Structures are given as structure tokens and as C-alpha cells.
Structure 1
């Protein structure tokens, strides 16, 4: 593997300097043990795209999140939290006929947490293309970020994702896609069909190594071979992707472009909660991209923000501010004054 710095993907002209993302954000309840035994629960919010939005906002970037919430107290909690984190939610819609979704986290073992979703027919699943159209009409984003979760929620959410891709291309936004495959939401075949349409229009594709096969027309079983990952990335580049960023968990991450590949090892931390680590990684990567950093610096910031998430409980709560990025370089036990 070469350490040659790959050519940077082009960032669209500054049309307001912000990032636009969209999807479903749910109320999150985290139990202290098995749910059937009762006990206390912590209340927060959770959603892949809003996790990324919060991560970017904490790093000082203007970011908008578009979605649909119920006309209920849970929906107000979602909006209140995002506003408090500096995320622009002016494009959010309320749906009085559907509830805000719910997610329950049930810790069972030190390294095992069961997740229970209550999102069928939720307000978030009713996202429609017109919400995306209004967001672009208000201001075309510099970067459009989407995931493979939202289009799996419903036919209208799928249409919204497709419309976002069209508008992103038409307005010259840089398009970032985090594959984020969820087998509970749709089949590998359905996900692959959507991704097959997306791939030629994506500037930055982010995926774990076992998600890469879904992005190619033939699909196929996940591969854990480094050589196979490089080969799959090459095929994706040939289809028009500007950069393929592969998350390798404890092995770090690697960026593939037409000019080579660059690997960055993970930052060692004591793992507390891996939920949200991928979203934190994306936020770090896009932050450095917005700052005009090279491949090495982008990966470094991404693995750093991902490490913060792993070392902290919650989906987004541990996301660092810009001034905190250097904390992981401090010695253990150091008091930062």
C-alpha cells in the first residue's frame, strides 16, 4: 500500500459554505439493563444524519438538517436538541398524523447492546421530495450528505433521496454518500439497486469494507480481504466515484482515488460505546474536506472524531469541538487546564 497522497476530490464553489443532510431522527431511550426488568432510562435523540450534523456543527461548520417529526413532545425534543447544538432545522416539517420514531438501547453484556426500533409509519419515514426541493431553493449547499438509511424507510423517503441526488448534481454540490446498510430496513438486493443508481453521481463514498460489494451492480458476498477491498474500490472509481473511503474499525481507514490510496491507523482509546462512531468519522472527514485539508489530514481528523465517539457513551454526545481535537494526544491522566 502506497502512502502517496491521492488527488483531492473537488469541492464545489462556495454557495453558502454549508452542509445539507436529511433523514429521520428519533427519540432514544437508553436502559440501565434488561428492559423486562425495568429500571431507569436516559432520554436523548439519535439519527445517523443528525449525528453527522451535530458533529459538523461542533467543529464550527454551518449545517442544515431536513426531516419530518411528529407534532408531539418527542418531535419537540428532537428540534430543541438540534437547535441547541447549532444545527439549522428551519426546513423541518411536522406531521400531525404520525408519531416521532423511537429507539431503545438495551445493554446486555459489556460489549453487547440490543437495539429495538419503533419507527414503522413514523413521521420521519414520511419525508418527501418537496422538503428537499425547498431546502435547495432556499440555498444550494456546498456539500450534500446522504446515507443508505433514509431511502430504506419508505417509498417517499426513497424518492426524496433520489431527488436530492438530482438537485445536488444540478447545483454543483459535492455529494457524499455513507452506505450505512441496515438489514432490518431493506434487503441487500434493494439496497444494491439504489446504490447502483447513486454511485456514478457520488464524489465521496464512505463505507465499511463489507458494504463495498453492495455498491456494485453484481452485489456479492462481503469480503474481508485487503486485496479485495482495493479491487472493489478500483471498480467504484471506474464507475465515476471521486474518492472511496473505507472504514476498517480498529484498523483505521483508507482512502482510494484514481491516484493511489492512503491508510490511517485508528487512534487507540478505551472503548465505551461504538454506537455513532461511523457518523462521527463522517463528520470529521467532511470537516477537514471543508477546511481544504489533504487526504492524510482528512483521514486523521476522521479517525480522531471516530475515536471520541467510541470513547464516549451515546450516539453524538461525545463529538468533539475543534478545540478538543488535540485531547487524544494528551498523556493518560493529564489534566487539561
Structure 2
């Protein structure tokens, strides 16, 4: 395991004694992945690392969360939604640990347009509080969603992956209805966090794209720095120091997400998809997509469409 990043492969290797509803064999191969389980084996300490996956945990039991250099004591029912790019660790403070968790990778989060709203929300953001302490009504509702996930994951229903995606969306929507996710005001954030938040908002405000005739206007770190009135080197430094990723990587990843969404959910030809994303030359879009995804845009569209037929 990396000293700085825990992968899904690492996660499952450390828990090889636990049975999961879905196979854990292909998690490192760029495929969409989701799993859900109970927390009955969570009475140990986890490493203080960033992760390459998302995890939502309903916690019953006492413990200490170390998150981004801070410490949070959890001594009552709580929901944990850490930002993968912020290092965190969990240490149990009581023998009794219960609840549920689900985890999913970026591919699962990217592959369907219904998740776009959450990318623009405070969920999983470096500046948002990762812990939500739950009142009884909300706890019961979220507990019910997890119970339905467990039941669905162990069922023989042929479309259970889609049903689980919908249950995950319902869970996250329930967190936004009354805005219980703590999103600090500008005065509560450091200058670096404010800049990262503004960059993230500008990036996601560009999506979804509605027409091939209305292409992206900001595609490079310099474009965003200019809009934010900061030097591009400063923006790059702040983004890298907080997220562990380069500004260029984050922008390209979001463009790739949108490319996949458009290829799957529109009838636009591939040159139109590329143009809308800022690639005037179809060959440049083809090369970008293949370098990032390992296959061409046409191969991606055909492979996904064949699964749906």
C-alpha cells in the first residue's frame, strides 16, 4: 500500500476475510464498481491516507476520526462522507461497532448523468465537514436505505446494479433536502480552501453541456486562473497541495467524465461531442479519449451500448 494513497485493491486485500455481495477481482481495471456491507468487522484502526474511492459509512459505535490534520470524536449515530483526496483514518474507541457502509469508484460515479447534481453539491468536497451527526428521523431513513441496498445486492434481480445506483442517489438527496451537510461560509475557510472551492464551482458550473454549438469556454488552468484573478502558478500550487492532484489532471478528468456521458446519453456524432468539449480537430479528441480511457470514443460507445441491448 502506498504511504499516501489507499486503493480499492488495498482495501479489499486488508479485508480478505470478509464476504462481499459483489466480486472484488476487477477493481483495478477501470471498471465501474460498487459494494455494500455491514460494519461488524470495523473495530480496528485504518491507515491515515487518501483514497482512490468514495465511501459512505453509517456509524454506530464510538471512535476517533482523524481527517485533514483534525480530530473528530464520534460517540453517537453519524454518517461519514470523506473527500477521497483528503487523508483520513478511523480508530475504534469501543468494542461494539455496527452500521453499514457502501463504497464506489470514480467510474461508478461518472457513468450516469443522475450523479451530476452531487458533483456540484457540498458532498465529498475538501472544505465540507465529513461527519453528519444524525437525529433519529434521519438515522432511521438512512438506515432503511442501507438495508434496502443490502437486500438488493444479495438478490437475483437482473437490474440490481441500477437499483443500487438509485438507492445511493436517494440517500445523497436526503442529505441535501434540508442542507444538513456542513458547508462553511467564506469567512470560515482558509484562503487556499476558498480558492479551491471557487475553482471547483467554476469547473462544475460548465456542465452538463446541452448543445454541440455551445462548447466549453474554460479548459486549461490558465483559463480558470484568469477567471479567478490569480496567477496560474498559485492556483496550481493550491490545488496540488490540497487534493494531491494537478489542476490539469482534475480538468481533464472532468472533461473525460462529460465525454463519456455525452457518448452514452446523446445521439451526437463523435466529432460533435469532441467539438463541444473544445476539440476542434476530431483526431485530437480521439487521441485524448484513447489516452485517458484506453479505448477510442467509438469503441467506448459501442461497448456500452452492446451491454444495454
Bigger fraction of residues in helix: 2
Q: TM-score, normalised by structure 2?
A: 0.32
TM-score normalized by the length of structure 1? 0.30
Larger Rg: 2
* Structure with more of its chain in strand, by fraction: 1
Between 1 and 2, higher relative CO (CA 8 Å, sep ≥ 6) is seen in 1
